Amino acid sequence: MDLSDKHIVLGLSGGIACYKSADLCRALVKLGATVQVVMTAAAGQFITPVTMQALSGRTVYGSQWDPREHNNMPHINLAREADAILIAPCSADFMVKLAQGGADDLLSLMCLARPMARVPLLLAPAMNREMWAHPATQRNLRQLQLDGATILGVGHGDQACGETGDGRMLEPTELALDMVAFFQPKCMLGRHVLVTAGPTYEAIDPVRGITNLSSGKMGYAVARAAREAGAQVTLVSGPVALDAPRGVTRISVRSAREMHTATLAQAPSADFFIATAAVADWRVANSAEHKIKKDGSGQMPQLQFAENPDILADVAQSERARSGALFCVGFAAESQDLLANAQAKRQRKGVPLLVGNIGPATFGQDDNALLLVTADGVEEFPRDSKLALARRLIMRSAELALSLESTGASHA
């Protein structure tokens, strides 16, 4: 559970989005966090403390005069226990209060009294689109960022008032994912990570094609982990049944040649290229424009094949990759002799890191086991969830890239 050792103070200020805070509280608890709810009086107009108490399993705080605290200082005690304070919803009015250092109720008082170096403050604004776009709100937002708050952004869509635009509170699942990401180490901050994922599909005719069993789960986990680590992530994906990870730019492609074109267009701005896609080595050279019909002869039509471009090898041979400016990671899905195949493949593709896994044992599964092969040796990542492995791989790739940069060593 991604938040299992975290204690989060969930603050609610007044807004209709308070109804979503119940789900958010539940989502954070499900991820393992302990959640202490603090509500303003205005929030109490939209949702009751009883609901929030039942979902968090803790009595809710609302007053700075709460007699439950032996020293009568809930603003000090609550802020010091927290690993993070998340205000969701954060109303326009509460943003004003925070920006000005106001402290006339428990929630604002607690935010002002938080130890800034140790307890981060995250805000999920929620308001009408005109209020959100107003220069005063945007000014307060900038001030809050300057003061060290993390703004989680707003959603776009239908609003409770009947208007449509920016200003909705992000959905509880999105905010929960943002909290998980927030606590991950930022080992790729500001880097551009390019990932290929999933299978490719090579058409035989307009209704049939050749593909493989890759589900894309490992590549999508890598993209998510890179994003969590602070990178800007571009995911070039073959056809899969997965949602794009939060905050990741997805480019959907079908064939190996489409994947090749999309990837090579992104590579010049990338710092890391992680090729997890199961790319078809061959395409049908004589694919038909119209559906191939049986001709009554009992003979299967003869398919001819042409070799597809090798995306990883092409990127790895680029000037930037050879100079170490672009760190390339290959994957090898093998069915046997993992170590020997992975070592040979690393040399053949000319990449500093090749990650081996047993394809049939992992396709479609939520877990995997990895073997990392570099010029210096071999490292095993034992069986774990694909997300946990992806996070370790991202961390390891960042370390290896850094050591290559500092030694200026040739990678392959």
Contacting ligand CTP within 30-89 (CB under 6 A): none
Q: Which stretch binds ligand CTP (CB under 6 A): 89-97, 144-152, 241-249, 329-337?
A: 329-337
Q: Which of 217, 211, 311 is nearest to 264 (CA)?
A: 311
Would you give the distance in Å from CA 32 to the centre of its chain? 19
**Residue 109-148 contact track with ligand CTP, rule CB under 6 A, x = bound:** ----------------------------------------
Structure tokens at 233: 């992530």
Contacting ligand CTP within 349-408 (CB under 6 A): 349
Of the listed 111, 161, 187, 328, which one is catalytic?
A: 161
CB-nearer residue toward ligand CTP: 73 or 375: 375
Whether the Cβ atoms of residue 71 and residue 43 lie closer than 8 Å to each other: no
Residues β-bridged to residue 370: 381
CB-nearer residue toward ligand CTP: 18 or 218: 218
The verdict on 258 binding ligand CTP (CB under 6 A) reads: no
Q: Which of 127, 2, 131, 25 is nearest to 86 (CA)?
A: 25
Interacting residue with ligand CTP among 77, 91, 137, 196 (CB under 6 A): 196
Structure tokens at 405: 């940069």
Interacting residue with ligand CTP among 33, 37, 221, 277 (CB under 6 A): 277
Interacting residue with ligand CTP among 27, 275, 328, 371 (CB under 6 A): 275
Q: Which stretch binds ligand CTP (CB under 6 A): 45-53, 68-76, 77-85, 273-281?
A: 273-281
Q: Which stretch binds ligand CTP (CB under 6 A): 91-99, 155-163, 272-280, 378-386?
A: 272-280
The three-point CA angle 341-344-346 to 5° equals 105
CB-nearer residue toward ligand CTP: 17 or 277: 277
Whether the Cβ atoms of residue 404 and residue 372 lie closer than 8 Å to each other: no
Q: Which of 15, 22, 74 is nearest to 45 (CA)?
A: 15
SS (H, E, C) the chain: CCCCCCEEEEEECCCCCHHHHHHHHHHHHHCCCEEEEEECCCHHHCCCHHHHHHHHCCCCECCCCCCCCCCCCHHHHHHHHCCEEEEEEECHHHHHHHHHCCCCCHHHHHHHCCCCCCCCEEEEECCCHHHHHCHHHHHHHHHHHHCCCEECCCEEEECCCCCEEEEECCCHHHHHHHHHHHCCCCCCCCCEEEEEECECCEEEECCEEECCCCCCHHHHHHHHHHHHCCCEEEEEECCCCCCCCCCCEEEECCCHHHHHHHHHHHHHHCCEEEECCECCCEEECCCCCCCCCCCCCCCCCCCCEEECCCHHHHHHCCHHHHHCCCEEEEEEEECCCHHHHHHHHHHHHCCCEEEEEEHHHHCCCCEEEEEEEECCEEEEEEEEEHHHHHHHHHHHHHHHHHHHHHHCCCCC
CB-nearer residue toward ligand CTP: 13 or 196: 196
Q: Which stretch binds ligand CTP (CB under 6 A): 2-10, 227-235, 276-284, 404-412?
A: 276-284
The verdict on 98 binding ligand CTP (CB under 6 A) reads: no
Interacting residue with ligand CTP among 308, 357, 362, 368 (CB under 6 A): 308
Q: Which stretch binds ligand CTP (CB under 6 A): 18-26, 49-57, 201-209, 304-312?
A: 304-312
**Residue 339-358 contact track with ligand CTP, rule CB under 6 A, x = bound:** ------x---x---------
The verdict on 333 binding ligand CTP (CB under 6 A) reads: yes
The verdict on 310 binding ligand CTP (CB under 6 A) reads: yes
Q: Which stretch binds ligand CTP (CB under 6 A): 97-105, 159-167, 328-336, 360-368?
A: 328-336
CB-nearer residue toward ligand CTP: 11 or 330: 330
The verdict on 332 binding ligand CTP (CB under 6 A) reads: yes
CB-nearer residue toward ligand CTP: 167 or 330: 330
The verdict on 328 binding ligand CTP (CB under 6 A) reads: no
Smallest separation (angstroms) from ligand CTP to the CB of 256: 6
Smallest separation (angstroms) from ligand CTP to the CB of 308: 5
Interacting residue with ligand CTP among 167, 172, 199, 330 (CB under 6 A): 330
- The residue count for binding ligand CTP (CB under 6 A) is 16
Whether the Cβ atoms of residue 201 and residue 254 lie closer than 8 Å to each other: yes
Catalytic site includes residue 25 = no
By annotation, the residues acting in catalysis are: 161
Contact footprint for ligand CTP (CB under 6 A): 196, 256, 275, 277, 279, 281, 308, 310-312, 330-333, 345, 349
